[in-house]
Amino acid sequence: MNIRKPINSSLSDYNFVLEADKCISAGPEPIPTGVCPHDRKGTYMGSSGYRLIPGNTCIPPRSGAKDAQVQKDCADGMVSALHP
């Protein structure tokens, strides 16, 4: 019987780099226009720094997936006019 186990198989997301076995931001994360208020107080849901490997057949864990979005402060990001 072949039992598949959850595996957290991921790469660093775009605009993130692998450093000391952790994916960290390479610069301010682009925030879509309209997500954060003009005073930049508040939070938004953004990348955790990880993404699943395309084509991977792993079973994501029920909780604690590395690629799940995380809550971030608006002041830490960069409002981007490129994202409507």
> pLDDT of 28-67, one tens digit each?
888 878 888 877 889 999 989 888 877 777 777 777 788 8
Higher-confidence residue of 5 and 32: namely 32
pTM value?
A: 0.67
Region 13-42: mean pLDDT is 85
Per residue, the 3-state secondary structure of the chain, as one string, reads CCCCCECCCEEECCCEEEECCEEEECCCCEEECCCCCCCCCCEEEECCCEEECCCCCCECCCCCCCCCCEEEEHHHCEEECCCC
* Portion of the chain with pLDDT greater than 90, in percent: 10
User: Could you tell me what percent of the chain has a pLDDT over 70?
Assistant: 82
Domain boundaries, the chain: 10-57+65-76
